A = this chain, B = another copy of it.
Amino acid sequence: MLGFVLNTHQQWICRQLSDAGYTATRQVAIADTGHAIQATVRESLSRADFVIVTGGLGPTSDDITRDLIAGLLGKRLHKDPAIVARLEAFFAQRGRPMPVSTTVQAQVPEGALVLDNPHGTAPGLAMEVTPNPFRTDGKTSWLVMLPGPPREMRPMFTNHVLPLLRQKLPLEGAFVCRTLLTTGLGESIVEEKIVGPLQPLVDAGLEIGYCAHYGTVDVRLVARGNGAEQLVADAEQLVREQIGPQIFGTQDEQLQEVIIRLLTERKQTIVTAESCTGGYIANRLTDVSGSSAVFLGGLVTYSNESKQNLLGVRAETLAQHGAVSEPVVREMAEGARQRMGADYAIAVTGIAGPTGGTETKPVGTAFIALATPKHTFVLNPVNRFDRPTFKQVTCHQALELLRRTLLKS
């Protein structure tokens, strides 16, 4: 609650739940105090069938969640010898002595299931709260406690929590969810184009959701029960008929993953030459495992000298048109493609801001070039955003230009 840490749990957990057909109704963050933790768990157990708590299971003095929840529910804690053995093995394997405080993580409330943690020391815990003294409707609830670090929490959620949820609170009937990722159209235009054709399917039970990000709009198609699979398949086909060229991916396949997949399928290669995006595009492409097969390399040419020396941009072109210009970005892309021996080269130059803008080239001005074996294409958007968002949006436009060109070729 001091604002030192970005909470990524909400998005990640909610996405897993919604893709599995469950509805997350509320996320709460509170300070590490006994009163706040107990009051919030009590409230949550009064409202929900399944409550997920993250953090506070470690060995230090502020890891108080396990004790507080056991206390709230009137459960005794006992030391689980299997967990102790696993903790000892964890430290032995790393050749380190086990601090005494570690064994607090082997404390298990009576009746709780232990969820194995192969990536850290604190196991997760799951327990049915029955009877649930905080609900007035007589129902029981499940309570799950997970460690805070994402690389421990996420596999535990996938391998233990989701199966438990499916077993204890099974969905009634089928659930099918498909998300189409679109770009190049605003949210209201996307909605306008597909809402009419999809109306008969909506009448038959289809649910449509939209989510706009910078430069992209996700369209989420959901159906439940008998015929759900067919309903979503029909809906996807109708959406593709309306805005097919704008759909660049599905579910969690990000644009850079689509690019790497397309290039890998075609056995083609790509290089980058970046000025204003400063390595952002290369970084995005190399976030994809396996990108080394198609991404040969990238140049970040911030200075005029590096544009000349590394890419062969001519001094006259720089002098005549300025570094932020169509002729320069064209020479950057063609130079990068030729010098690094790739099928495609993306080049970007522009004014990320906040300083450096002029009357004719305001902050946000970008020139994006794609050099291909036959042509060089250039875009000239004006992306009026803060510096990090400028990089993100400009990168997206460059990758999207490449994607469309790949699909046409």
A292: chain B residues within 8 A (beta carbon): 302-303
Within 8 A of B (CB), among A340-382: 340-341, 352-355
Whether B3 lies near A17 (C-beta < 8 A) is yes
A17: chain B residues within 8 A (beta carbon): 3
Within 8 A of B (CB), among A1-56: 1-8, 10-19, 23-31, 36, 40
Instruction: Count residues of chain A with CB under 8 A from any CB of chain B.
Output: 79
Q: Determine the distance from Cα of A364 to Cα of B296 in the docked complex, in whole angstroms.
A: 21
Specify which of B25, B40, B209 is in contact with A30 (CB 8 Å cutoff).
B25
Please tell me if A241 contacts chain B, counting CB pairs below 8 Å: no
Q: Determine the distance from Cα of A205 to Cα of B309 in the docked complex, in whole angstroms.
A: 59
Whether A3 lies near B16 (C-beta < 8 A) is yes
- The winner among A24, A278, A303 for most chain B CB atoms within 10 A is A278
Whether B387 lies near A309 (C-beta < 8 A) is no
Q: Determine the distance from Cα of A31 to Cα of B30 in the docked complex, in whole angstroms.
A: 19
Please choose the segment from A77-85, A131-139, A280-288, A399-407 that sits at the chain B interface, where 4 or more of its residues have CB less than 8 A away: A280-288
Specify which of B13, B280, B281, B302 is in contact with A296 (CB 8 Å cutoff).
B302
Q: Determine the distance from Cα of A340 to Cα of B302 in the docked complex, in whole angstroms.
A: 11
Q: Determine the distance from Cα of A60 to Cα of B191 in the docked complex, in whole angstroms.
A: 12
Whether A31 lies near B25 (C-beta < 8 A) is yes
A306: chain B residues within 8 A (beta carbon): 296-297, 340
- The winner among A272, A296, A306 for most chain B CB atoms within 10 A is A306
Specify which of B7, B301, B391 is in contact with A11 (CB 8 Å cutoff).
B7
What is the CB-to-nearest-CB distance from A21 to chain B, in angstroms, rounded to a whole number?
Answer: 12
Closest residue on chain B to residue A3 by CB atoms: B15
Specify which of B211, B272, B355, B385 is in contact with A300 (CB 8 Å cutoff).
B272
What is the CB-to-nearest-CB distance from A153 to chain B, in angstroms, rounded to a whole number?
Answer: 13
Whether B278 lies near A302 (C-beta < 8 A) is no
* Given A6-B11, A279-B300, A297-B301; 15 other pairs, CB 8 A cutoff: A2-B211, A3-B18, A26-B40, A151-B385, A278-B298, A279-B286, A282-B283, A283-B283, A283-B391, A290-B355, A292-B302, A296-B302, A297-B306, A298-B298, A299-B310
A binding-site residues for B, Cβ under 8 Å: 1-8, 10-19, 23-31, 36, 40, 60, 151, 188, 209, 211, 213, 218, 220, 272, 274, 277-283, 285-287, 289-292, 295-303, 305-306, 309-310, 339-341, 352-355, 385-389, 391
14 examples of A-B residue contacts, CB within 8 angstroms: A2-B15, A3-B14, A25-B31, A151-B389, A277-B283, A278-B285, A278-B298, A282-B282, A282-B283, A287-B387, A296-B305, A296-B306, A297-B300, A298-B299
- Closest A-B pairs by Cβ, 10 of them: A278-B286, A3-B15, A279-B282, A279-B279, A3-B14, A298-B300, A297-B306, A4-B211, A279-B283, A27-B29
